[in-house]
């Protein structure tokens, strides 16, 4: 079943009435993108984002708070989403990895608690937790990872294919739900974008957006991984491991309309109409022809692939930024912005060429760190900078705190409301974070590991092969110098190992989660 979607004119006079909510019950809109790196949000000031700005996402930071030290508990999509919903680490919510399991929807979650306290709840977009959503009055989700063009959406009643670009469709469905929701209830709405997840297919209007832009090469792009066993054995290198057809849109020769290796055509070209396919190949033709007619060294090809990756990744984000702008404009026009808490985040960070990589998974900063921006006119001052260590297990308790709802004892996160309300970090706020990645053996061959991070240091244990890594983030922000076991680090290491054990005990890690994984 396939439907074409048209967007009706908003009935603004009626919608203005919907905006009236009580002081005690803020509306909540949680915008969650997939694999959106901090480096690609211009509010964070990274050189890449200056060439590809995100002015609408930046509006949330300008009018509210930007989090400078926000991290995930497990840097991979499903587990991060499970932590956001439950306020618990992976071993407690039961969703350790993306494969061979489904999220246990019978457990208590943030949307269920909000439902019980009078909220209308909705989820639109990417779910990626295998089981059907629970705790939502309305849900409309993509099938698995979802498709960029003409995607299927699953509801309680049916599965329907819609014509269009996935980011635009999610935005439209979100605004439609806002028009039809129950006016007398506060609401909790999750708008979950697929973008910019692999394979980074932009909207047609953005195919050529960064065609003539040259992005700066990361200092560690040709990292040799010396002293880092797991880094040397991963399979997420841009110039060695990316699929040249599927990921980089490379073709077999001059004027070819045949992609090089694409293991998932059903999730890419086969979802496009013949006309869409033709326009896609035409948009990339000049660049692909130039590749085939230009003599390049191996190093130059590696750099060319980096540019192609960044051009597509950042162009895919442009539609997400437009989506955020449309939603913010809608809220302002209807008056809903006055009593709505707006959050923008991603399920984890992402590598944009650092260490030569794409993807995530590692506890290194680029994938461990998550973007987080929050706006709430009644409580968060414009331009607030939150510098304390926060984590995605904190999202649920924080939102409950803003709603005046008791935080359940089982939640392992802490409310960071005070940090946003005051812009200061309390003396008794946490000084360390715990991380645990489980998915090995698995895609990209990143070894299972756990670790602890403080403001300055990070200790990581790849427990399968018993490799330890220690980084001084102040003197080694790129995390290329593993100083574990080096003279002069003994006291630092003892302190961090003690803190690691303390966190594992605090979070009640099962003994079998701390042993080498079975091969």
Task: Answer with the one of 425, 455, 473 that is the final residue of a domain.
Answer: 425
| CATH number of the CATH domain containing 500 | 3.30.1120.10
**Domain-embedded: residue 303:** yes
For residues 297 and 145, is the Cβ–Cβ distance under 8 A? no
- Answer whether 136's CB lies under 8 Å from 122's CB: yes
Tell me whether residue 14 is exposed, middle or buried, using C-beta atoms within 10 angstroms of its C-beta: 0 to 12, 13 to 18, 19 or more: exposed
| Same-domain check for residues 344 and 467 | no
Does residue 15 sit within a domain? Answer: no
As a whole number of angstroms, the distance between CA 268 and CA 283 comes to 16
Residue 115 lies in a domain: yes
319 and 302 in a single domain? The answer is no
Residue that the structure tokens 């930007």 belong to: 66
Please report whether residue 97 resides in a domain.
yes
pLDDT on residue 519:
35
pLDDT 10s per residue in the chain (519 long)? 444 454 443 333 333 434 444 456 999 999 999 999 999 999 999 999 999 999 999 999 999 999 999 999 999 999 999 999 999 999 999 999 988 789 999 999 999 999 999 999 999 999 999 999 999 999 999 999 999 999 999 999 999 999 999 999 999 999 999 999 988 899 999 999 999 999 999 999 999 999 999 999 999 999 999 999 999 999 999 999 999 999 999 999 999 999 999 999 999 999 999 999 999 999 999 999 999 999 999 999 999 999 999 999 999 999 999 999 999 999 999 999 999 999 999 999 999 999 999 999 999 999 999 999 999 998 999 999 999 999 999 999 999 999 999 999 999 999 999 999 999 999 999 999 999 999 999 999 999 999 999 999 999 999 999 999 999 999 999 999 999 999 999 999 999 999 999 999 999 999 988 876 443
Domain contains 456: yes
90 and 131 assigned to the same domain: yes
For 441, phi then psi, to 5°, come to: -65, 145
How many Å apart are CA 330 and CA 10, to the nearest integer?
Answer: 9
Chosen domain end from 392, 425, 458: 425
Classify residue 257: in a domain, yes or no: yes
Q: DSSP code of 295?
A: -
Query: For residue 123, is it within any domain?
Result: yes
**What is the number of domains present in the chain?**
3
CA 205 vs CA 51, 175, 208, 255: distances in Å: 18, 21, 8, 22
CB distance 343 to 192 below 8 Å: no
Tell me the three state secondary structure of residue 512. helix
Q: What's residue 184's pLDDT?
A: 87
Same domain, 213 and 185: no
Q: Please indicate, yes or no, if residue 77 is contained in any of the structural domains.
A: yes
Residue 438 and residue 467 share a domain = yes
On the question of a cis peptide bond just before residue 441, with omega within 30 degrees of 0, the verdict is yes
Neighbour tally for 256: CB within 10 Å: 15
Q: Quick one: 110 and 58 in the same domain?
A: yes
Q: Is there a single domain that holds both residue 415 and residue 404?
A: yes
Residues 295 and 176 both lie in one domain? no
Give strand pairing partners of 433: 453
DSSP of 16-43:
HHHT---TTS-EEEEEEESS--GGG-GG
Domain-ending residue, one of 425, 451, 476: 425
Asked if residue 189 and residue 54 are part of one domain, the reply reads yes
Q: Are residues 165 and 84 part of one domain?
A: yes
What pLDDT shows up at residue 62? Answer: 98
Domain identity same for 319 and 222: no
Q: Are 373 and 66 spatial neighbours (Cβ–Cβ below 8 Å)? A: yes
| 354 and 229 within one domain | no
Q: Which of 354, 357, 35, 360 is nearest to 216 (CA)?
A: 354
Q: What is the CATH number of the domain that holds 373?
A: 3.40.720.10
Q: Which residues pair with residue 172 across a beta bridge?
A: none
- The distance of Cα 418 from the centroid of its chain, to the nearest Å, equals 24
For residue 444, give its domain range: 434-510
């Amino acid at each position: 079943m396939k439907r074409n979607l048209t967007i009706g004119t908003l009935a603004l006079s009626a919608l203005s009435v919907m905006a009236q909510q009580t002081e005690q019950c803020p509306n909540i809109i949680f915008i969650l993108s997939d694999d959106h790196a901090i480096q690609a949000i211009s509010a964070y000031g990274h050189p890449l984002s200056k060439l590809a700005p995100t002015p609408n996402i930046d509006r949330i930071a300008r009018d509210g708070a930007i989090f400078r030290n926000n991290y995930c508990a497990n840097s991979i999509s499903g587990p991060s989403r499970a932590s956001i919903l439950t306020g618990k680490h992976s071993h407690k919510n039961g969703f350790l990895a993306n494969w061979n399991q489904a999220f246990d929807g019978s457990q208590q979650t943030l949307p269920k608690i909000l439902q019980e306290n009078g909220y209308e709840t909705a989820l639109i977009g990417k779910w990626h937790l295998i089981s059907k959503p629970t705790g939502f009055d309305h849900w409309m989700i993509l099938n698995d990872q979802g498709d960029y063009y003409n995607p299927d959406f699953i509801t309680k009643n049916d599965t329907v294919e819609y014509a269009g670009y996935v980011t635009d469709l999610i935005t439209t469905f979100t605004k439609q739900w806002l028009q039809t929701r129950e006016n007398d209830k506060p609401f909790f709405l999750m708008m979950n974008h697929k973008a910019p997840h692999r394979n980074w297919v932009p909207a047609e209007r953005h195919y050529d957006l960064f065609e003539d832009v040259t992005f700066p090469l990361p200092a560690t792009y040709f990292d040799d991984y010396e002293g880092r066993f797991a880094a040397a054995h991963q399979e997420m290198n841009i110039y060695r491991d990316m699929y040249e057809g599927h990921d980089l849109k490379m073709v077999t020769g001059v004027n070819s309309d045949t992609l090089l290796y694409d293991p998932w055509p059903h999730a890419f070209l086969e979802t496009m109409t013949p006309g869409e396919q033709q326009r896609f190949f035409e948009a990339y033709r000049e660049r692909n022809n130039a590749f085939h007619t230009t003599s390049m060294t191996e190093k130059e090809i590696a750099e060319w692939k980096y540019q192609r990756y960044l051009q597509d990744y950042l162009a895919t984000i442009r539609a997400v930024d437009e989506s955020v702008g449309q939603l913010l404009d809608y809220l302002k026009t209807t008056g809903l912005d006055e009593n709505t808490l707006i959050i923008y985040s991603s399920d984890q960070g992402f590598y944009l060429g650092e260490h030569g990589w794409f993807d995530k998974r590692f506890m290194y900063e680029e994938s461990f760190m998550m973007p987080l921006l929050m706006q709430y006119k009644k409580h968060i001052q414009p331009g607030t900078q939150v510098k304390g260590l926060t984590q995605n297990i904190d999202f649920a308790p924080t939102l409950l705190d803003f709603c005046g709802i008791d935080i359940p004892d089982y939640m392992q996160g802490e409310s960071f409301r005070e940090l946003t309300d005051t812009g200061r970090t309390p003396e008794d706020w946490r000084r360390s974070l715990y991380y645990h990645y489980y998915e090995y053996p698995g895609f990209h061959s990143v070894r299972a590991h756990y670790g602890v991070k403080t403001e300055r240091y990070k200790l990581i244990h790849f427990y399968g092969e018993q490799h330890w890594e220690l980084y001084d983030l102040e003197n080694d922000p790129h995390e290329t110098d593993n100083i574990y076991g080096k003279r002069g680090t003994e006291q630092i290491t003892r302190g961090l190992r003690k803190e690691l054990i303390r966190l594992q005990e605090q979070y009640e890690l099962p003994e079998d989660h701390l042993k080498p994984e079975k091969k």
